[in-house]
Amino acid sequence: MPLLLLAAIVMAPVWINDHRLARMVGRIQAYPLPPGTDFGYFEPQVEVRGDSGDCWYTIRFELSTERPVQEVLNHYRQAKIEDPDGDLGDYEVAAFTLFDEPGSPVDDASATKSVIIDLGGMYDDTWTDMRCY
């Protein structure tokens, strides 16, 4: 029983921070999509890493869009989505698009494109999340 209690104490900060990040994912999914855009096939993915107590997160999700990639990127860069610490827009946004086999973008301008959006930032670990060390 003492080992179970110790494990719960050690894991509590991880669970709390996972909950904070899951709430941010929910806010991202609730944020209006650009016109002609839908969520892609896979659910948003969250990665947490750190060093010396600094906690960095990346939330990655796929969009299927008819819009230019730069327009979709600008849409999320201008968004003021609350981060895990309660700050608005305190994260960086990057976009990636898929290329065809020879390594060039899909030529058809009217084609629906798959765009990967990465939101990355840092959150305060008021507890001791072991992933941040």
Average confidence (pLDDT) over 29-40: 95
Reduced to 3 states (helix: H, G, I; strand: E, B; else coil), residue 30 is: helix
Per-domain residue ranges of the chain:
2-132
Question: Which residue would you say has higher pLDDT here, 55 or 102?
Answer: 55
**Confidence band of 54 (pLDDT split at 50, 70, 90):** confident
Provide the pLDDT confidence category of residue 24 given band limits of 50, 70 and 90. very high
CATH class of residue range 2-132: alpha beta
Contacts with 99 (C-beta within 8 Å, 6 or more apart), sequence order: 105, 106
Q: What is the percentage of the chain residues whose pLDDT exceeds 70?
A: 89
> pLDDT per residue over 59-98, tens digit each?
999 999 999 999 999 999 999 999 998 899 889 999 998 7
Give the DSSP letter of residue 55: E
Arithmetic mean of pLDDT, 12-28: 94
pLDDT at site 8:
86
- pLDDT value of position 37: 95
User: Among the residues of the chain, which ranges form H helices?
Assistant: 2-30, 69-78
